[in-house]
Structure 1
Amino acid sequence: MDAILETRGLSKQFLGFSAVSDVSLAVRRGSIHGLIGPNGAGKTTCFNLLTKFLPPSSGTIRFDGRDITRMKPAEVARLGLVRSFQISAVFPHLSVLENVRVALQRARGGSYDFWRSDAVLRRYDARARELLHEVGLAGFADQPAVELSYGRKRALEIATTLALEPTMMLLDEPTAGMTAEDVDRIVALVRRVAAGRTVLMVEHNLKVVEGLCDTITVLTRGKVLAEGPYAEVSRNPEVVAAYLGSDPAISGGAAHG
């Protein structure tokens, strides 16, 4: 297997509590890989370790053949490992186009110089509009981000993530809190932007996981409980037992998270 992201024995303790314990993970290049588990399973902590927002207590992380265990978040982002956050992170009072332009400035090594001449800033506009078209926001370029629906804000966040030209995207609950219509739109978007990229996603909505993910890793109490295709994992008695009380309908793919 050509794994683009691998961990070995990844662990994180907080004051004696093991949030992540001995996690070994291998994400296949070009795949969509789901990370699921009941509340408190350690999924977000694992994401924070992978993207270097937290240092591990022990273990190693390799991305695209390179040891990134001790790197800083900005360093791994420059290597092409880029994450989104569970809470939408956009500049609310900038336009949709300006939000993407800021991300493009950062990707090109420029500072956030909002006061620079229009001529300098407009050189980013063509690529920004391409990215907005890619995420279905071409018609919203001049609208303030604060006026977007929640689902479209998440699409904008994905556009700003794409502006950093990621080889691999880590999406933290991309459909959380959305209407059914927005969920369908984001699922289609993730499938579209995954072409030519690798995606690792934390997601509670198991119908989304079933429809999108090639491989699923189930965490519980900070440890890997099971891994494999959804059809296989969803029938695992240990996985069903772990979800009882939080996602009781996991068996048979009927859960909505």
Structure 2
Amino acid sequence: MAGGDLILETKRLTKAFNGFTAVNGVDLSVRRGAIHALIGPNGAGKTTCFNLLTKFLTPTSGQIFFDGIEITGAAPASIARRGVIRSFQISAVFPHLSPVENVLIGLQRGLGVSFRFWSSGRMLARLRARALELLDEVGLARYADAKTADLSYGHKRALEIATTLAMDPVLMLLDEPTQGMGHEDVDRVTALIKKVSAGRTILMVEHNMKIVARISDTITVLQRGEVLAEGSYAEVSADPRVKEAYMGAESESLG
């Protein structure tokens, strides 16, 4: 693996399904401490890449390295224990629990123990204090004991980020973090992603180019499962191949 500043690297990563190649020879290099966006038109292979990185899918060929160690053959649980934590495209919180209880589940998972409300009072008090800190970090402290089902969609996504942070991620993979949000929630969650990126590395799939432009350090553009372009927003938005790939309204947003 080249370069000690790389936290994640893929070499010729490929995934084929019954003769259809969804990801084809992707070389990806994610720098430590960066916000790295993975973008592309529908069907470009973005989600398949995420599934390969978190081992929900097994590569047909190629290699994956995390922090200098090859993890191509590692199990999903092993990947998570190394600190590669994924936040899903659809909000993945428990609606019948309170926000603080959701974060407590994440904290206990991070400790490698099951979520047991009858654990020692001292342990629960310590975990609850940390859960409240995380909720405060994402702006949800006042909703700590509310019913999660009653939260707005944007607040649920913020809660999902809090539960992800509870797992103490080294690398956070965010899958369409602002999908389905109104402008106010988009701005709030975008600012939140920027805030929690301090001291962490974030790889995100995001369709909103304004968000990508605002917070991404590096952008990789996929098309038909292959890397089309990579660089800063200014670099990729000036690339005529990228404009052609997006076409229509989206190409206008690429400047």
Superposed CA offset, 1:155-198 (max 9, x none):
00000000010111010010000010000100110000000000
Task: Give the match for residue 17 of structure 1.
Answer: 20
| Residues 240, 250 of structure 1: 8 Å contact kept | no
Report the AA paired with residue 228 of structure 2: L
Counterpart secondary structure, 1:200: strand
| Residues 243, 250 of structure 1: 8 Å contact kept | no
Please give the alpha-carbon distance, in whole angstroms, between the structure 2 residues aligned to 1:85 and 1:48: 11
Counterpart secondary structure, 1:70: coil
Number of residue pairs matched by the alignment: 252
Report the AA paired with residue 33 of structure 1: H
Does residue 47 of the first structure (1) align with residue 50 of the second (2)? yes
Please give the alpha-carbon distance, in whole angstroms, between the structure 1 residues aligned to 2:60 and 2:117: 39
- Distance apart, 1:109 and its partner CA: 1.0
Task: Give the match for residue 235 of structure 1.
Answer: 238
Does residue 103 of the first structure (1) align with residue 106 of the second (2)? yes
Superposed CA offset, 1:21-65 (max 9, x none):
000000011100000000010000000101111110000000001
Does residue 85 of the first structure (1) align with residue 97 of the second (2)? no
Q: Which of 29, 33, 50 matches 1:30? A: 33
Task: Give the match for residue 208 of structure 2.
Answer: 205
- Distance apart, 1:249 and its partner CA: 1.1
| Residues 175, 204 of structure 2: 8 Å contact kept | yes
Please give the alpha-carbon distance, in whole angstroms, between the structure 1 residues aligned to 2:145 and 2:121: 15
Superposed CA offset, 1:54-103 (max 9, x none):
11000000000111101111111110111100000000000010000011
- Distance apart, 1:15 and its partner CA: 0.6
> Structure 2 matches for 1:1-257, cutoff 5 A?
1=3, 2-116=5-119, 120-245=123-248, 247-252=250-255
- Unpaired runs of 5+ residues, structure 2, are none
Give the CA RMSD over aligned residues: 1.2
- Unpaired runs of 5+ residues, structure 1, are 253-257
Q: Percent identity?
A: 64
| Residues 38, 246 of structure 1: 8 Å contact kept | no
| Residues 209, 254 of structure 2: 8 Å contact kept | no
Superposed CA offset, 1:101-135 (max 9, x none):
01111111111324546554333100000000111
Report the AA paired with residue 223 of structure 2: T
- Distance apart, 1:150 and its partner CA: 0.4
Please give the alpha-carbon distance, in whole angstroms, between the structure 1 residues aligned to 2:27 and 2:48: 14
Please give the alpha-carbon distance, in whole angstroms, between the structure 2 residues aligned to 1:127 and 1:238: 47
Report the AA paired with residue 231 of structure 1: A
- Distance apart, 1:235 and its partner CA: 1.0
Superposed CA offset, 1:174-228 (max 9, x none):
0000010000100110000000000000000000000010000000000000000
Report the AA paired with residue 82 of structure 1: I
Superposed CA offset, 1:121-156 (max 9, x none):
333100000000111101100001111100000000
